[in-house]
Amino acid sequence: MTCVKIIGIGEFSATILVRRAMIAAIFDKGLPMNLVFLVLSAMLAMVGAWLLPLVGDLQRAAHVHLAFALGVMPLIMGAMTHFVPVLTRTGAAARQVQLLAGLAWQAGVLATAFFAFSLPPSVRLFAALLAVLAVARLAGWQWMRARAALGSPHPGVYWYLAALFCLLLALLAVAGMDAWPAQYLALKRLHLHLNLFGFVGLSAVGTLQVLLPTAAGQPDPQVAARLRGDLPAALGGTLLIALGAAWLPLLSALGLLLWLVPVGRLGVAWLARYRSGIFQRHGAMPLLAAALAGVVLSLLAGGAHGAGWLDSTGVAHLFVFSFLFPLVSGAAGQLLPLWFRPGRQTEWHDWARCRLTFAAGFRALLFLAAGLLVLAGFRWAAWLALAALLPFPLAALGVLWRARRA
């Protein structure tokens, strides 16, 4: 364990303990193990965010940043380094690109520590600038890969670029909070909505459109055209929601209507083609479909919150329990076996996916029910979300142990 001293702006001088040797050892093992680390880290972060209110009286931003900045942001960025070479039919990402998710993870550590320990504002600024560096570099790499693609790149790449654009704007809003204190609350809302519906929403919906047909073993011939045609509505809806939340509420309503177009079209297409798989008891498909349903519910609840009908805490829990939890557990349940053992798919990969997605249909229902019940004011329903989430990290650790011993 090494000690890193960071000198900030003004009077700030803080010492941060970072297990650099451990992180470097993990990230030296190549892209698959990077992603395994990020998946397990995200799961632990989400469970930790759930537990924090029970063990300490920390401000809510600490819980949020533990789940999103330390868990979800690095995981999505790491997953992009896996998917972009596939979508552009180019080679694997270089090591310095693979390490960008680790840089974002360290920025998440700083952001979480800022809120958890009431550190000086320069810590938050440094964390935001560190993340900006990682995001800008990743976006530049994706753009170059899209231009170097064999033929036209898959339109999913542009969903990723739009997601990173929203994340970049959200991080720049953090830098603006100190520069324009009078706009602090507006910039905070802008930051939140660009992250939730921009970075997470765009990258998730873009990935789901490819991942669920892969889990079904049945390609969707309309996916490229749908992704290409729906991106303007999704990105435009995101920007309108964020600007409306910050300054002009009417814009949020227009953005909500725009966002419902692509998710509605996707839901109709899935029900027409994959209905039996979505409603099965096991497998990744029920969880991935639940994540899409969670997006729709979150959009509708966000609109109700903007109208003053729902409180922000319930809407935030709905987003986490009914969208984020099934998204991460469903996507990771499909992809982790590939990352544990890259290469030719074998019976072991089928066994691992069965373990990771066991009782997924029941767990998907629990995720959706937990989000809706907490939204309705039944706080005890958060235990349902934890009960549905915990089987995944436990199964993942068991699969990882068996994979490393074999």
Quote the pTM value.
Answer: 0.90
Residue 141 lies in a domain: yes
Asked if 116 and 58 touch (Cβ cutoff 8 Å), the reply is yes
Task: Give a yes or no: residue 298 inside a domain.
Answer: no
Burial of 374 (0-12, 13-18, 19+ CB in 10 A): buried
Asked whether residue 252 is domain-assigned, the answer is: no
Taking the C-alpha atoms of residue 346 and residue 341, their distance in angstroms, rounded to an integer, is 10
Residue 18: what are its φ and ψ, rounded to 5°? -125, 130
Q: What is the pLDDT of residues 7-51, one digit of tens each?
A: 333 333 333 333 333 333 334 445 566 888 899 899 999 988 888
Q: Dig out the tokens for 350 from the structure.
A: 């089928």
Query: How far is Cα 171 from Cα 191, in angstroms, rounded to an integer?
Result: 7
**What pLDDT is attached to residue 32?**
65
**Terminal CA-CA length for the chain:** 30
Taking the C-alpha atoms of residue 65 and residue 129, their distance in angstroms, rounded to an integer, is 16
141 vs 147: CA distance, rounded Å: 10
Question: Which of these, 249, 145, 146, 117, lies nearest to 193 by C-alpha position?
Answer: 249
Indicate whether 272 belongs to any domain: no
Instruction: Report yes or no on 17 lying in a domain.
Output: yes
> How many domains, the chain?
1
Residue ranges of the chain with per-residue pLDDT less than 50: 1-29
- Distances in whole angstroms, Cα of residue 146 to Cα of each of 6, 50, 80, 223, 389: 36, 38, 13, 18, 35
State how far the Cα of 129 lies from the Cα of 142, in Å rounded to an integer: 20
Owning domain of residue 130: 1-153
Q: How many CB atoms lie within 10 A of CB 146?
A: 20
What is the predicted pLDDT for the residue at 316?
Answer: 86
* pLDDT, position 55: 66
> Tokens standing for 169?
């704007």
Whether residue 29 is contained in a domain is answered as yes
Pairing mode, if any, of strands 13-18 and 2-7?
Answer: antiparallel
In a domain, 304, yes or no: no
Residue 294 lies in a domain: no
pLDDT of residue 31: 55
Calpha distance 148→194 (Å, rounded): 29
